[in-house]
Amino acid sequence: MVYNKDDNYCISTSWINENGIKNKGLWYFYHLKMKERIKNYQKIWNCIIKNKQILASCDKTKEYYASLLEQYVYLLFNLDQILKIEENSIPDNDDVFLMTYFTYNYVLSAKSIIDIFAWLINDIFACECKLSEVSLIFKSYDRPKEKHRTFKNKLKEKAESNFVNHICSDNVQFALSNLEQHRDIICHRGKIHIMIKNDRDNRTSTIVKPIDPHMFKGADGFNLWKQSAGIRYDEKCSEFSKNILKILDDVFLRINECLLSQITKER
């Protein structure tokens, strides 16, 4: 584990930027990191503020973008903690506990971001669907049936084909469905069994998670180990998290471009 002098897990709370100036703490640090990733965020935020008369649901749009910023801050913080724990070549049970904690929080923030994306898209393209019908996840991880067809069809009618095709692509839908699977297990079905995997020489170890966590059925974790022979423990939590983040970044940038285009047309 990573300890400080008091023998506790240590999280730095101050950094020095490239100009040698100390920043204002954790939230501000990750706020800047988010804007580095989503380079058109500030531009879209300024446009929302300056074009209140154009946007039919300006107050709601502002709330969505403020929420996205907040969720991204905690998403990036959790990812950094996951990476930090993985630096330890000989992890212990406390590392597994912390890895589980930060991975769970990462998943919950990521799923919240996906929900806000869907609500934003519903407003941007005036799909007029109820929020209960609105989702970007059209494929279910545990059944072949397609989901949220009404919203998907409305999106196809009103949005540009390139945008819709990207959202509906196999790569994006697999990632979003996989994220939903992890979130459902965390919230409703017990736990995701994150564990230590020893290398062949037993000199180093890695914390890994199951690639297919939905194969663990039921709530009794002890009995579930009987089923674990078919579970693939090959995925680092950081790999899973980075893959999700890449999808989120890309969709976020595309949504911003759609809203900017709409504002420009209506001026």
pTM of the predicted model as reported, rounded to 2 decimal places = 0.84
* Most confident region among 70-84, 120-134, 222-236 by mean pLDDT: 70-84
pLDDT in tens, 14-42: 555 556 556 677 888 899 999 999 999 99
For the chain, first and last CA: distance in Å? 55
Half-sphere exposure of residue 133: CA atoms within 13 angstroms, side-chain side: 12
Q: What is the dihedral of CA 213, 219, 220, 226, to 10 degrees?
A: -30
- Residue range 218-230: average pLDDT? 43
Which one has a higher pLDDT value, 15 or 72?
Answer: 72
- Residue range 191-200: average pLDDT? 81
Q: According to the model, what pLDDT value does residue 74 have?
A: 96
Measure the CA–CA gap between 52 and 44, rounded to whole angstroms: 12
Tell me: pLDDT of 80 over 90: yes
Which one has a higher pLDDT value, 222 or 143?
Answer: 143
pLDDT in tens, 145-193: 678 889 999 999 999 999 999 999 999 998 999 999 899 989 887 788 8
Share of the chain above pLDDT 70, in %: 76
Q: According to the model, what pLDDT value does residue 165 have?
A: 94
